[in-house]
Structure 1
Amino acid sequence: MLRLSTLYRFPLKSAIGESLPQAQLDALGMQGDRRWMLVDAANGRFLTQRALPHMTQLSARWNAAGGLTLNAAGFPSLEVPLPGADATLRGAFIWSDSMYVPDAGDEAADWLSRFIGKPCRLVQVPAERARWVEGSLNANEKVGFADGFPLLLIGQASLDDLSARVGRPLEMLRFRPNLVIEGSEPYAEDSWKRIRIGSVEFRVAKGCSRCIMPTLDPLTGERSADREPLTTLKTYREREGEVYFGQNLINEGEGELKVGMAVEVLE
């Protein structure tokens, strides 16, 4: 039987993720997931572990009011409230999208600029300012600050197979999924088109092409000297110059997910 084995949320894009026993789904995917992002103070471009691997050491916990609690070694904890209706809007650029979103204020910006090592701003995306899902023709399919789609799914068997090929255990958090599924064959998720978990149906949108981030140890932020697991993935998961691992999902409705729920493949 297929079951939902793990749920992960990443409140601040590219910061530490958190494992959850249950999670709510809303119009933008998992509630509280990637609703916050760091941008360069000078040009508004989004900042991630790709260029700043020490973001692996930045903790940003989401709270029920929509705010964040920031923590990092050597820094005092900082509570960041959800920006109000009168918050300053800041231009932010993520991939090919540009948007105006609420700025979290100077205290958060100063704290994070010291941690990052360069001037940056913290921004938040309310539902009414979200982006359209990559390639979607449906005006109701929106996404916050995730790269292109609301949710990412990976089969545990797929990671186990990859670990065996690499020759050492790999952490699932290298790949930053929201949903981990147990009970399937390796890479079975590649063939799924629609699934249901609880009362919520999901459309499998496309495979997830991988960047350099999985070569970072999620615990230390150190990059693999052998460029694993990308080196191995390229030997059997590359097509048209892109390496794929995991599947992007769009939830077609709101509801609650709980670890242990059965997963049904509809198509």
Structure 2
Amino acid sequence: MVDTFAARVWSLHAYPIKGCAGTEVDKLAISAYGPAHDREFLIIRPDGKFLTQREFPRMALIEPSLDGLAEGKLRLTAPGHDDLMVTFTTDGPQRLATVWKWTGTGVDQGDEVASWFSDFLGTEVRLVRFPPDMTRNTTVGGGQVRYADGYPILVTSTASLDALNAQLDEALPMDRFRPNVVVDGWRRPWTEDQVVDLPIGEVRLEIVKPCARCVVTTVDQRTAEKGREPLRTLGRTRRTEAGLIFGQNAVVRTPGTVRVADRVC
């Protein structure tokens, strides 16, 4: 039996630019594509291949602000760099954009922001935005997604993080796993592995695939330094045919707004 005793939303997170720092918020408007503006922007090489913290851990230090997105503006901050306010566009030139095996396009956001990112990361890049008329389907579950690895929502729980941290010499924060929705109140760790239908407030999610973790989880999201955990411990305790599992990918069945402290049924 799935344990959902007194479960509620503990925290909510969005990541406007794939691979860059996330923002914790009190509420998230969720569409079929996931949280509003989540992974709506992508940093790409000139050939269209996306950048990640695997090769560029400094991406974790780039902080996009959600504050101006409703007005069409994106504020960027990074250590040692002047802040940049970008007025983003939906009708600029389109460039090839590749995320793993998927290839689509992205609307180029101009030379100024491209130069800002290129200077900070030390390599030539462009920033593109997910075109409003483009559709990208999930491999499993019949959902839709923007530039995330494969699914629009990642669900984790505080109970599972506590269980993992009990096995580590030094506890890790949840931001290592870059979730969208963190559930608190499940008495047993790994309850998210057993759930399929997941109503949260007015939204309904369906969990469709375990999240196999990669070396990005070893990057300290506050300093960009790399370590060995949690992959070393996950390799001992959470190894499956799907990989080293922490968290579950979900698709959106009923859109709406999710708030911190919403009941998770």
Give the TM-score range, shorter chain. over 0.9
Query: Quick one: which amino acid aligns to residue 8 of structure 1?
Result: H
User: Which ranges of structure 2 fall in alignment gaps of 5 or more residues?
Assistant: 1-5
**Residue in structure 1 matching 2:207, options 192, 198, 204:** 204
Q: 2:60 aligned with 1:67, yes or no?
A: no
Equivalent residue for 2:3?
none
The aligned amino acid for 2:145 is V
Aligned partners of 2:87 and 2:45: how far apart in 1? 21
Q: Does 2:130 match 1:125? A: yes
Could you tell me which residue of structure 2 aligns to residue 167 of structure 1? 169
Name 2:148's counterpart in structure 1. 146
Q: Deviations over 1:6-31 (max 9, x none)?
A: 00111111111111011101121000
Displacement of 1:92: 0.7
Partner of 1:44: 48
Among 107, 115, 131, the alignment partner of 2:112 is 107
Query: What is the distance in 2 between the residues matched to 1:135 and 1:206?
Result: 8
Q: How far off its partner does 1:66 sit?
A: 4.2
Q: Deviations over 1:209-252 (max 9, x none)?
A: 0110111111111111xx11110011111112711110001111
Give, in angstroms, the shift of residue 207 of structure 1.
0.5
Partners of 1:125 and 1:10 in 2: how far apart? 14
Matches of 2:130 and 2:212, distance apart in 1: 24
3-state SS of the aligned residue for 1:48?
coil
Structure 2 residue identity aligned to 1:173: D
Alignment match, 1:33: 38
Residue of structure 2 aligned with 1:57, choices 55, 61, 80:
61
TM value normalised by structure 1: 0.93
Query: What code does the residue aligned with 2:241 have?
Result: E
Whole-Å separation in 2 of the counterparts to 1:26 and 1:240: 31
Runs of 4 or more off by more than 3 Å in structure 1? none
CA offsets 1:123-166 (integer angstroms, 9 cap, x no match)? 01034214111234x3xx21001100000000101001101101
> TM-score, normalization: structure 2?
0.94
Identity of aligned residues (%): 36
Partner letter of residue 71 of structure 1?
T
Aligned length: 257
Q: Distance in 2 between matches of 1:29 and 1:212?
A: 24
